[in-house]
Amino acid sequence: MSTGLLDRDGCIPGCFYTRDDGTTIEYKLKTDPPEAAFWTTYKLKPSHIKVVGKYDRKTKSALAKEICDEITRHEQSKPKPSIEDKIRKKRQAARRQHAEVGEK
């Protein structure tokens, strides 16, 4: 895997989170494997979020949990296609597959 996206610690740098009060928090995302950051099935944990900046340990932990909760909430709010939509889409794709007799 190419590590062009990762910093020397194996984290994805340059992530930002803006809180409701307008303050912006910079953080890094460190997942194992690194590609997991882009998987929709990966269960993100607060320990995967590394807050950048001068904060005490307790504040960093609280910020990491807040960021993780926000990311998780945002991912869960995406509408998932229903089974009826999947079936309808499959049936629409199953159109004429073979040429009829006499056609070229």
C-beta of residue 27 within 8 angstroms of C-beta of residue 15: yes
Strands 49-52 and 24-29: antiparallel
pLDDT at res. 1: 44
pLDDT at res. 64: 93
Tens-digit pLDDT string for the chain (104 aa): 445 677 777 777 788 998 889 989 999 888 888 888 788 788 889 999 999 989 999 999 999 999 999 888 877 666 666 677 777 777 765 556 566 666 55
pTM, whole model, 2 decimals? 0.63
Domain ranges in the chain? Answer: 12-93
Contacts of 72 (CB under 8 A, 6+ apart): 44
pLDDT at res. 72: 85
Q: What is the largest CA-CA distance in the chain?
A: 79
